[in-house]
Every structure is written in structure tokens, then in C-alpha cells.
Amino acid sequence: MELLSNLALGFDVALSPLTLVLAVVGCFLGTIIGALPGLGPSNGVAILIPITFSLGLDATAALVLLTSVYYGAMYGGRISSILLNIPGDEPAMMTTLDGYPMAKAGRAGDALVISGVASFVGALLATIALAMVAPFLARIAYKFGPAEYFALYALAFATLGGMASNNQAKAALASFIGLAIALIGLDNNSGFYRFTGGNLHLADGIDFLVAIVGLFAVSEVFIFIETHGKSSAAGVKLGKVTVPWAEMWSTRWTMIRSSIVGFVAGVLPGAGASLGSFMTYMMEKGIAGEKGGFGTGVAKGVAAPEAGNNAAAGGALVPMLTLGVPGSGTTAVLLAVLMTLNITPGPTLFADRPEVVWGLIASLLIANFVLLAMNVPMVKVFVKILMVPPAILLPGVTMVSFVGIYSLSGSYFDLVLMIVFGVMGYAFRKMDIPTVPVILGILLGYQMENNLRHAMTLSGGDWTYLFSSPIAAVLWVAAAAGFIAPMFLRGVLKRPPVPDSANED
Amino acid sequence: MKFTALKALGTSAVLALAATSSAWATECIAPANPGGGWDFTCRQVGKLLYDLKQVDAPVQVTNMAGAGGGLAYSYVVNERNTDADLIVAASSATTTRLAQKAFGDATADQVRFVGAIGADPGVIVVAKDSPFQTLGDMVEAIKADPGSVAFAGGSAAGGFDHMKPLQVMKAAGFTDIGSIKYIGVDGGADAITQTVGGFTQAMTGDMSEIVGFIQSGEVRALAVLTEDRVPGFDDIPTAREQGFDVVAVNWRGFYVPKGISDDEFNVWASRIQAIADSAEWKETMTANGLAPFTKVGGDFQSWVDQVVADTEALSKEIGVIQ
């Protein structure tokens, strides 16, 4: 019962009037930050760092506030995905695929409630797993070398073909464009700059936040202008919010499966929440088969990515706390906060500073229940924020996008780049090319290339090294199955492909 | 982050209004996002400058990330060249990149390096079950078969972490340094993970990156690349005492704009000396795994010039630059 006594210690630290207030404030701010396109969990946490210091909060109080913002933003990202077809942050990207079609069909309330509960299940299971097995799980990271990571990314790309069920060639084209964009910047393996044209602003490559805000939010504004708001995503109406119990119950296994897969993806540094939500969505789509109707607005299609990305957010804390390896942008910022507070994450943290670790875990549990309350019964509060008339909302979205992107490096260059991506997103939507694979290409391409090059360096150019470990072999088999199975099944079932309504407008 | 932008606007507005803005706070630019080493340097030293009454208003820290410090460098050179109230955090990474022309056309003589106030000692680390017991064991293994030992480090190929094992091998009389395997991963902790996992045979990094892992016993340090053993880590031998004359420390310090007067330069040098001598700074260094390393003013500038020349020569040898 060491776990219980540890948790008691944690709640002892985390349960004070001040920390509870901070948790509520953090969850509220986090949900708003998550819901606003351009501002994601990493900006949210980064914006609040100076505030925690100027308030003179101690380590525990600061962590409670910042992790509440982190979890809150993970919940909030789904709201604009569902209502506006603009992901509030990058892991919420997959939620647009079924969430927005549900909203268009007049079921926005159902989508919000189901995804809110899925977020809760994912985050709760992940926090419990973090408490129980973090020190043990940290050892998973030791099993993943360049070959294993490369196989993992290959698995993600192999399942991509099933993404846009109406035209696989367009999905492939989009992912190649993303991969090409990922090549820009410093080549870690030779120390040379590639495709920067001597421009220092491109030296670090293109931040995928610039790409995601451009492709989704800015292109939405263009569509809005073109159609005078008639077929724009903004302005979906939300009626009375009721809890669709039966439908939610039907997604219970989806939520649990997705939580497990999402958590493992989060634990692996370099995979993270975006890959977690992508893989859970593709997995559930595969399990449901053609009859599942994924992409047309089904409950499982919003439950899977939301359970997956929230579980991954909890999982990403495992390598951050136990190894000091941040698995995502947000955990990198949290790591910086810990270091500034003179707490060094690493293998000895659980033994040296139990009050910090267990206080953090207790505050995550508290934040999770606060968020469930805010995001299911009180979801209309946040919806109201996004429900102002489109003529006001879209300029507001544009402004937040510009501020968020400007804050990345404080240069107008990124703003110009964002508009370029906006034009590209507009053109792609006109040509019915999905934009999600572009983002995945940018997101995963850099790491995928690095790991391939590392593997080749370590093996002296022997490509069989990529298949040499059992973990890598299993991942390759899964990748091959994920690539071949949809073609094979399609041939056997002889069903007409399901139109991908998420990309129609 | 919004605040940074506003501050930057405010700063330029004030500068435009009045050149003699002595009432305006001194500014420290950290050429990276909050949380990294440069940010740490600006915030800690900025706080001490005010606490120790070296400046009369709190120092304002501006984060200007991009191009590994290159954006801030070109900003200072082009826009703030005569601003005497400005310091910019720098480290070995700054000089390495300047030597390798990684900041576009910028060169090291476009600013003045005013002082270093501490250093993160370079280390070479292996997993606890590694066959190598001394740095000599490892050097012999590489000489026999250069492909048998791969290093992981937190910087890109050609970066400071990559240079450390190359300098050791050069000191050992090994000339084919282009054949030494190195992979650049995302930070020191990631490099340790790859080494503990057995994917690479050794990790090259800074002392502050390995402290937790040394204490948990998962890795052993073969050598620390300082002149003397580091206080608090007295059981780690230096490379020098094992017969390899290499000193590689990641110094933390500052540069100032080129266009300020010699008097203004000397004021900064004495301020930095005062910080380095203070008890408060010594405490901060111990808490963060930094070793004493103080060089200020003209001494520091000539030391930097030498480091840049050495780095340039080594970079040419391994083919990072032509």
C-alpha cells in the first residue's frame, strides 16, 4: 500500500485552499487557451511562467497552476475542432475529422460531451498509470533506439493511406509535401543548412505551429471571405446539451483502448500526443471497418483521438520526470520550470523529492475532476466564447493567430510564412487535398529522417540494422499490415469508398 | 511571450525618443526560449546585478529565440550596435557557431566578448556495464576500430558536444577523426538514454546534464574535461591527468555591442567581475553544477579569439566547413 501512502502525501501537499483556487483558475485559462487556435498548451504554459514567478508561488503551487493549464488546454483543443473545424492545438487535429461533421449534422452538443468524457477517461487512466508504474515505464525509453523510432514513424505513415478514403493519391501527395517542408533548416547530421536560402529565420526549420495555424485557421478566413460566410465552418449552432448515455456507453472500449495506446505513445519521447491521437484514430477506424463510418461524424471518431491525446499528455510526463527527457513541446517548457525551481528531473527525482512528484500527481487528479465539471455541464460557457457571430469571431481568430505566432520568435517573418500556409491551405481545400497529412509530414518528417540517419551512422550503412531488434520487427510487421490490409479488404468487400466529408468544404 | 513583444516595442520606442535613457532599465537578451542555459544566465545574473547594486533598476530579460542565437546576433550587430545598456547571454555554442559561419555572414569580431562567469564542465560518460574503465581504454578501442564506439550528444554534428571526443582523440595522436561516429539527438538527457539503452557506446555532454544519472548509478563518467577535478565530483578524473591534454568547458558569459566605448566596455567588465566574486553567485553555481570560470574584459576577448580560431581549424578537419 505504498501507493496509497504516497498519494496521501501528495494530496496533503496539493489540497490547500490556494492550490485548489489555482487548479480552478488554471483549468479555466487552459481550456480557453486550448480552444483558441494558435495558442496551444506549450504557449499557454509559457505565457504563465512569468506570472507564477511574479506571484512568488512555491514549487508545488506553481506546478499545480501550470499542469492545470496543460491538462486544460488538452481538453480545450477539441472545442474549436468540433465547432469551427479549426484544431485548437495540434493533437486536436484528428478530432476535426468526425467532430465537425457531427456538429454540422446538428449534434455539436453530443460531440462535445462524448469527447469531454473521453478526455477525462484518457487523462484519468494516464494519471493513474503515471502514479503506479512511472519508474518502471521509464525503462521503455531505453528500449527505443534509432531503428525502433524509425519503424514507429514508418508505421504512422503506412496507415496514412487510409486517412482520406476518397483519394489515397492526394493523401500521399500531401504527406510528401509535409516531408519536403520538414527538410528545411539545420541538418543535425552534417551541421549544414538546407533550403534556407541563407535566411536565418529558416535556420531552425519551419515551426509546425506556423503551418497548422496557416493551413487551418487562416485558410478558414479565406473560405469565409469567398463565400460571404455561407458555407464557412464558423457559426455552427449548439442547442441544448444533453448527455447521450447510450451512445457514450457504446464507445467504452474505444476509450479504454485509445487511452492505453495514447499513454504508450506519450511515454515514448519523440512520439507524443499528436502521434497518439493519430494512431488511436487509425486503430479504431481499422477495428470499426468500412461499416464504422469514420469520417462521417461518428461518436467513436471523436472519442478515440480525445482519449488518445489526453492519455498521451499524461504519458509524456513519465520520461520528463524520470529521465529529464521532454516528450513534447509542453513538457519541455514544464521541464524548464522545474529546473528554474531548482528541481532536477531525472532517475533520482522520485526518491529525492517525493513531495514534488506526488503533489504533482495529486494535482493532476484534482485538475482532471475540475475539468470534467467544466467541460461537460459547463461546456456552454466555452462554447459561448466561440459562438459570437462569425463576422466578429473570425477577425478575433485571426488576431489570436497572429499574436500566438508572433510570440514564437518575435519576428514578422513567421507571420508572412503563416499567410503563405493559409493560401496553400485554401488552394488545397479547393483541390480537395487533405491538409492533415501535410502537418503529420512536417511533424514526423524531421524525427523520422534523423532516426534513419542515426541508424545508418551507428550501423555503418547496413540497412538490415533497421529490422534487427524484436521491437523494430514487430513495428515493421504492423506497418506492413496497416499498409496492405486496407487495399486487400477494399478488394474483398467491394464497397464504394466513403466520402470524406471533413475535406469537402 | 506577448509581454516580450510589448517590452521590445517599448524599448525601441524609448530608444527612438531619447538616446540618453539612463532611467531605462538595462536589458539582457537571452537568444533562446525561456528555460535554456542562456535564459538562465540572463535571469540569474540580471537579478544579481540589481541585488548587488551594480545597476540602478531591475534588469529586463528579453527572449529572442532563433537560428541557435543567430537572430539575436544579427539584431545586435545591425540595430543596437552602440547601445551601452545591453548585454547578451553567450556560451561555447555561440563561438562554435560563429567559427563555423552558422550565423550567416556574421563573424566573431562584430561584437565584443566582455566576460565569462562560470562554466559547465565537459564530460565523457559510459553506461555502468561498459567495458571501458578509463578514458585510455576507450581511446585504444577507437584506435583499433574507429567504428566500434559511437558517441551520442545533445548538439548537431559539428556542434560543441561533437568536438569534445574529437579533441580527445586528436590529443591521443589519432588523425582519422572523420571516422569517429557521432549522432546528435535532442539534448543531453536523450543522449544518455541512447547510451544506457546500448545504442551508442558513450555520451558526450555537460556536467549539469549527467548529475542525476551519476547519482542513480546508471552511468559512469570516464573523464571531465577541466584543468582540475570539479568540487563535489572529486572522484571523476580529468582527461588531463589521464594523459590527454584537453580542456573543454561550456562557459557562460556575455557579449556587448561592438560600437560602445572602451570605458563603457570596462564598466561591464568590472560589473561582471563583481558578480563572479559574490557569495550569491557562488551559491548559484554550486546548486546548478557549474564550475568556477572567470575571465573578463580584454583577457576574455583574446581567449575567445583563440577558441574561435581552434574551432575553425577542427571544423575544417572534420568537414563541417570548407
- Is B120-242 assigned to CATH 3.40.190.10? yes
The nearest alpha carbon in chain B to A403 belongs to B2
Question: What distance in Å separates residue A462's CA from the closest CA in chain B?
Answer: 13
CATH class of residue range B2-119+251-318: alpha beta
Whether the Cβ atoms of residue B228 and residue B100 lie closer than 8 Å to each other: no
Q: Please, is B141 exposed, middle or buried when counting C-beta atoms within 10 Å of its C-beta (0-12, 13-18, 19+)?
A: middle
Please state the domain extents for chain B: 2-119+251-318, 120-242
Q: Judge if A344 and A474 occupy the same domain.
A: no
- Give the pLDDT band (50/70/90) at residue B137: very high
**B70-73: which pairs have CB atoms within 8 A and are 24 or more residues apart?**
B70/A200, B70/A203, B70/B31, B70/B97, B70/B102, B70/B103, B70/B104, B70/B106, B71/A200, B71/A201, B71/A409, B71/A411, B71/B31, B72/B29, B72/B31, B73/B31, B73/B98, B73/B103, B73/B106, B73/B110, B73/B111
User: Quick one: A383 and A252 in the same domain?
Assistant: yes
Give the length of chain A: 505
Tell me, yes or no, if A227 comes closer than 8 A to chain B by beta carbon: no
* Contact with chain B for residue A54, Cβ under 8 A: no
- What is the residue type of A118? A
**From CA A295, how far away is CA B286, in angstroms rounded?**
56
pLDDT for B22: 40
Task: Examine residue A364 and state whether it is found in any structural domain, yes or no.
Answer: yes
**The pLDDT of residue B226 is above 80:** yes
**Span B172-200, pLDDT tens digits:** 999 888 899 999 887 788 899 899 999 99
Shared domain check, A447 and A330: no
Residue B182 corresponds to which cell in the numbers above? 557521432
Q: Does residue A270 fall inside a structural domain?
A: yes
Q: What is the pLDDT of residue A218?
A: 86
CA distance A287 to A298: 14
| % of residues, chain A, pLDDT over 90 | 15
Is residue A414 in some structural domain? no
**In terms of domains, do A123 and A152 share one?**
no
Decide if the complex's ipTM is over 0.85: no
- Is B190 close to A342, i.e. CB distance below 8 A? no
DSSP for residue A61: H
Average the pLDDT over B23-41 and give the result.
78
pLDDT of residue A340: 65
**What's the pTM?**
0.79
A25 contact partners, CB below 8 Å, separation of at least 6: A65, A68
Report how far apart, in Å, the C-alpha atoms of B176 and of each of B113, B253, B320 are.
33, 33, 15
Identify whether A113 is part of a domain: yes
In this structure, are residues B35 and A339 in contact, taking their beta carbons and an 8 Å threshold? yes
**CA distances (Å), A295 to each of A106, A156, A279, A281, B92, in order?**
16, 18, 15, 10, 51
The values of phi and psi at residue B181, to 5°, are -80, 135
Interfacial A residues in 113-132 facing B (CB < 8 Å): none
Write the pLDDT tens digit of every residue in B86-135: 999 999 999 999 998 888 788 899 999 999 999 999 999 999 999 999 99
Would you state the cell numbers that stand for residue A84, as one nine-digit string? Answer: 469551427
What distance in Å separates residue B192's CA from the closest CA in chain A? 9
Q: What is the pLDDT of residues A483-492, one digit of tens each?
A: 776 666 555 5
Q: Determine the 3-state secondary structure of A72 from DSSP.
A: helix
Residues of chain B with pLDDT > 70: what percent? 91
Confidence of residue B223 (pLDDT cuts 50, 70, 90): very high
Does A304 lie in the same domain as A188?
A: no
Residues 6+ apart with CB under 8 A from B82: B257, B259, B260
> What pLDDT, on a 0 to 100 scale, did the predictor assign at position B231?
81
What is the b/e burial string over A337-369, where b = at least 16 CB atoms within 10 angstroms of the residue's CB? Answer: bbbbbebbbbbbbbeebeebbbbbbbbbbbbbe
Partners of residue A193 in chain B, C-beta under 8 Å: 102
Q: For residue B42, which of B29, B54, B24, B26 has the smallest C-alpha distance?
A: B29
Write the pLDDT tens digit of every residue in A138-181.
677 788 889 988 988 888 777 765 555 567 778 888 888 999 99
Which comes out higher in pLDDT, residue A147 or A403? A147
Q: Which position has the higher pLDDT, B255 or A165?
A: B255
Per the model's pLDDT, the better-predicted residue between A203 and B196 turns out to be B196
pLDDT recorded at residue A248: 85
Contacts of B150 in chain A (CB under 8 A): 457-458
Query: What whole-number distance in Å separates Cα of residue A272 and Cα of residue A322?
Result: 16
Helix, strand, or coil (residue B287) = helix
pLDDT band at A503 (very low <50, low <70, confident <90, very high): very low
CA separation for the pair A183, A13 (Å, rounded): 46
Angle at B234 between CA B232 and CA B235, to 5 degrees: 125
Domain end marker among A370, A390, A410: A390
Residue A408 lies in a domain: no
Measured between CB atoms, does B215 come within 8 Å of chain A?
yes
In a domain? residue A420: no
Residues A251, A381 within the same domain: yes
User: Are A67 and A117 contained in the same domain?
Assistant: yes
The verdict on residue A162 lying in a domain is: yes
Residue listed under C-alpha cell 571544423? B315
Region B206-233: mean pLDDT is 88
What is the count of structural domains for chain A? 2
- Residues 6 or more apart whose Cβ sits within 8 Å of residue B133: none
Q: Work out the average pLDDT over A251-261.
A: 91
Three-class DSSP category at B117: strand
Reported in sequence order, the residue ranges of A83-178 that DSSP labels E, i.e. its strands, are none
Residues A135 and A159 reside in one and the same domain? no
- Residue B119 forms beta bridges with which residues? B251, B291
Determine the pLDDT at residue A162.
59
**Nearest chain A Cα distance for residue B35, angstroms:** 4
| Dist. CA B41–CA B26, nearest whole Å | 15
> Same topology for domains B2-119+251-318 and B120-242, yes or no?
yes
Residue A237 lies in a domain: no
Q: Does B322 touch chain A (CB under 8 A)?
A: no
Closest to A414 (Cα-Cα) out of B67, B34, B134, B136: B67
Domain that holds residue A458: 146-206+435-498
Q: Rounded to an integer, what is the distance from CA A110 to the centroid of its chain?
A: 21
Query: What is the pLDDT, as a whole number, of residue B21?
Result: 36
B84: Cβ contacts below 8 Å, ≥ 6 apart: B256, B257, B260, B261, B264, B267
**How sure is the predictor about A204, in pLDDT bands with cuts at 50, 70 and 90?**
confident
